[in-house]
Structure 1
Amino acid sequence: MRGIARVYWRLLGAGFRRQSTYRLAAVGGVVANATFGLLKVAVLVATVHAAGGELAGYDVGRMSTYIWLSQAMLGSLNLNGRTDIAERIKDGRVAVDFLRPLDVQAAEITTEVGRSLFALIPRGIPMLVIGVFAGMAPPGSLAAYPLGAGSLLLGIVISVAAAYLVGVAGFWLVETRGLQVFYMVIAGFLAGLFVPIGLFPRWLLVLAEATPFPSMMMYPIDVLAGRVDLAGSLGLLAVQVAWLVAVAGLGQVLTRAGRRRLEVQGG
């Protein structure tokens, strides 16, 4: 058991180091995140002012907190559905993955989480610095920091595990780019990337909460921003854990079914 844990720890570190080699891409990501963050400030803060200073529980400070936390998290969340497993299924390399003494899904998710954690450093921290100068409202309780960190980690893992489902659909679809585009459209919107889901009409809010997408971004933001109390934070964490179990379980089912279906030709 200890040996297996050591292997997964090394996979996590390998993903972290792999992402650290793309330094220019990280710089470009910071510029893009900051630009879109400022655009969101211009639109959403103006909307709050137009609503009389408060909109669905968001004043200017809370809206600024939402904007810059979402921008800080963006580089670490897989909301586009692109995964390495999709390409390995398409060209047949996944057959080698099945020969290794590791769970294919767990190995893929662990590596991707390592890459996501690195992105918090060059892309997440600068967004928080900008947010502090832009008027982010600090949480009212110190408990929001450790609970928010746990919620953020769960959000990252859920986003990677859900994107894995898009990739393993390649066992049946072969070409998954169309599915990836569809996933990217709905994931970002329902996760709360563009506006807080609290601004959704009631029917759309219920629809969003019936999916794992708010657990990727909106719930961690609510916990980190202190928009919910201790009981509410623990409740959101419990929802995230439930979605992680459900998504990971479905990934196991699809992986095993795909392994039985897999055919590799050539040599």
Structure 2
Amino acid sequence: MGVYWAIGIRSFRRFSTYRIATASGAFTNTVFGFILCGVYLSLWQARPGLGGYDTADALTFVWLQQGLLMPIGLFGASTTVELGERVRSGAIAVDLYRPTQLLLWWLSMDLGRAMFQLLARGGAPLLVGALVFDLKFPADPQRWPAIALGIVLGILVSFGFRYLVALSGFWLTDSRGTEYLALWLSLFFSGMVMPLVVFPGWFGEFARATPWAATMQVPIDIWLGRNPGGTGAALLFQLGWCVVLLLIGQLLTLLATRKVVIAGG
């Protein structure tokens, strides 16, 4: 496992070199946080208690959402986008020559990226939001380990799905169409557009059962203490999707690499 640890550390260092981009991204997340707060305040004033959230819950959701956006990689993290490009260009052949597992290599890369984004960009929007609005923070110290675990599992679930999207290039030749579809599905069903608790009936239940819900909605609900079945059930839900997606990813990796044809030679 030492090699994968080293890959993760180098990925962390790689993304830490883009300091101006990181600061600009944190500023952008903060600006969008204020815009969304304006929308949410209007909505919750018109519909108090919408989805079981009060106004403080909704505003806290906004700032946690903005802090987790880049670590979770809902817009398509650069590591998995790079993997899709390497499949498309044929450079994936170099990756297959390495004496490492393809999935673990890219998972290590993505975890290094996510940890840097979490440390550098995760807390800045939340801190600004807390200075302006009355946000909710967990009062019970015992909930913090569960929150940390929920965030890590959310990152793993997100990677599992993005990895499958990148692998689609082995069969489709070009995975960019799949990436665009995955982007919109991720943004909607993760709770990025609107908290999933506001969707009623069977559609709301379906949205909260998808793997995308495990990436953002569930970790934020752990923070808010709003998980219907409790924190343990929420973590098991995330863990279940994590195992399923990574197992499918490993199976498809084996199928995809049994015979690889590189365009142009």
The TM-score bracket by the shorter chain reads: over 0.9
C-alpha separation between the residues in 1 aligned to 2:42 and 2:175? 39
Quote how far apart the aligned CAs of 1:140 are. Answer: 4.0
CA distance in 2, matches of 1:137, 1:115: 28
Give me the TM-score of the superposition, normalised by structure 2.
0.94
| Match in the other structure for 1:157 | 156
The one-character-per-residue Cα deviations of 1:59-109 (angstroms, maximum 9, x if unpaired) are 111111111111110111122345221111111121121121111011101
Is the Cα contact below 8 Å between 1:158 and 1:247 reproduced in 2? yes
Show structure 2 runs of 5+ residues with no match. Answer: none
The aligned residue for residue 128 of structure 1 is: 126
**Are the aligned partners of 2:15 and 2:113 in contact in 1 as well (CA < 8 Å)?**
yes
| DSSP-derived class of the 1:263 partner | coil
Identity %: 34
Tell me if 1:8 matches 2:7. Answer: no
Contact 2:11 2:112 survives alignment (8 Å): yes
Matched with 1:70 is 65
Which of the residues 18, 35, 48 maps onto 2:14?
Answer: 18
Give the AA of the match of 1:57: G
Q: CA deviation at 1:265?
A: 4.4
Pairwise mapping of residues 50-65 of structure 1 onto structure 2 (< 5 A)? 50-51=46-47, 53-65=48-60
For 2:94, the equivalent position in structure 1 comes to 96
Contact 2:138-2:223 within 8 A present in 1 as well: yes
The answer to whether the aligner puts 1:199 opposite 2:195 as a matched pair is no
Secondary structure in 2 aligned to 1:74? helix
One-letter amino acid of the structure 2 residue matched with residue 199 of structure 1? V
Residues 148 and 220, structure 1, Cα contact 8 Å, conserved in 2: yes
Corresponding position: 1:45 with 2:41: yes
**Conserved? CA contact 1:139–1:227, under 8 Å:** no
Stretches of structure 1 that go unaligned for 5 or more consecutive residues are none
Q: 2:75 and 2:56 mapped to 1: Cα distance?
A: 29
Aligned-partner Cα distance in 2 for 1:145–1:170: 39
Deviation at 1:22, TM superposition (A): 1.2
Check whether the contact 1:79–1:163 (CA below 8 A) recurs between aligned residues. no
Deviation of 1:225 after TM superposition, in Å, equals: 2.1
Give yes or no for the alignment of 1:31 onto 2:27.
yes
Contact 1:140 1:226 in 2 (8 A): no
DSSP-derived class of the 1:137 partner = coil
Q: Is the 8 A contact 2:33 2:62 kept in 1?
A: yes
Distance in 2, matches of 1:96 and 1:7, equals 17
The one-letter code sitting in structure 1 at the alignment partner of 2:157 is I
What one-letter code is carried by the residue in structure 1 that aligns with 2:222?
Answer: V
Q: Is this contact kept in 2: 1:68–1:131, CA < 8 A?
A: yes
Root mean square deviation of aligned Cα: 1.5
Conservation of the 8 A alpha-carbon contact between 2:195 and 2:217 = yes
- Which 4+ runs in 1 deviate beyond 3 A? none
What SS is found at the alignment partner of 1:260? coil
String of CA shifts for 1:161-209, please: whole Å, max 9, x gaps: 2101110000011111111111101111100012110001222222213
Tell me the equivalent position of 1:110: 108
How far 1:266 moved relative to its partner?
A: 4.0
Aligned length: 261
State the shift of 1:46 in Å: 1.5
